[in-house]
Amino acid sequence: MKRLDGQVAIVTGASRGIGRAVAKELAEWGAAVVVNYYQSQEQAEQLVSDLTGQGARAIAVRAGVAHPDDVQAMVERALEEFGQIDILVNNAGVNRDRTLRRMSVEEWHEVINTDLNSAFYCTSAVLPHMIERNYGRIINMSSIIGQMGNAGQSNYAAAKAGLIAFTKSAAQELARYNITVNAMCPGFVETDMVIALSDEVKEALVSRIPLGRFGRPEEVAAFIRFLVTEGDWITGQQFNPNGGMYM
């Protein structure tokens, strides 16, 4: 018996990067997984085919997390397919880095909508169901940038800091329904988001990480798996897999 057998997880932004690693990890531990994607249909379908090939239950569902109607439809699809939702990982996110002097209103809103408002939409959509079943495990993917800020990322930092405050408030509201809500605040992790940085920026970043390297998506995924398998008495917290970059 695997620890997550019989449970169902929605992982937003699971077509690539950290979300993909989380979907794989939860599926390996027995959960049925909704692999949410937006643009990367092929990668999402490939992941689902890999997972189902290994005997897991998984479906790919396209939904833009910044659109409440899409999110509602995704949750309905998940319930239709698997009958329940135990775990929600609000992972999908984008960055549109620009100094404040140059940042457009569109760049500000895109990041706030995709990285912060999405967590409200997804959480609200699963809540009636989780409350009815008196069980839920919600993880919000914040960032080290939400804790320490970063020049050129005011939109992203504001969204990620907002997620931390959202996490604490939701945790206080939902504990009575046995729903825990926690925030992950990774440091720099090797995904497309970080690979896109120039070599110069990457070197400068690594020099600020005491453990001397970027993280791996699997290292964040393992922590999330711990939270959903062992974290029954953990809520409202921030977890910092960041190589010691922020203490």
Ligand X SMILES: NC(=O)c1ccc[n+]([C@@H]2O[C@H](COP(=O)([O-])OP(=O)(O)OC[C@H]3O[C@@H](n4cnc5c(N)ncnc54)[C@H](OP(=O)(O)O)[C@@H]3O)[C@@H](O)[C@H]2O)c1
Which residues form the catalytic set?
Answer: 156
CB 1 to ligand X: min, Å: 30
Distance between CA atoms of residues 217 and 190, nearest Å: 7
CB 122 to ligand X: min, Å: 10
CB nearer ligand X, residue 193 or residue 234? 193
CB 98 to ligand X: min, Å: 16
CB nearer ligand X, residue 36 or residue 154? 36
Phi-psi group of 146: left, alpha or beta (phi > 0 → left; psi -120 to 50 → alpha; rest → beta):
alpha
How is residue 182 written in tokens? 């926690």
Task: State residue 60 phi and psi, 5-degree precision.
Answer: -100, 135
* H or E segment and range at residue 33: strand 32-37
- Coil, strand or helix at 160: helix
How is residue 231 written in tokens? 């974290």
CB nearer ligand X, residue 92 or residue 179? 92
Distance between CA atoms of residues 185 and 159, nearest Å: 12
CB nearer ligand X, residue 42 or residue 232? 42
Per CB under 6 A, residues contacting ligand X are 12-13, 15-19, 36-40, 64-66, 91-94, 114-115, 141, 143, 186, 188-189, 191-194
Distance between CA atoms of residues 24 and 58, nearest Å: 10
CB nearer ligand X, residue 13 or residue 136? 13
Q: Which of 191, 167, 176, 190 is nearest to 88 (CA)?
A: 167
CB 114 to ligand X: min, Å: 5
Task: State residue 175 phi and psi, 5-degree precision.
Answer: -55, -35
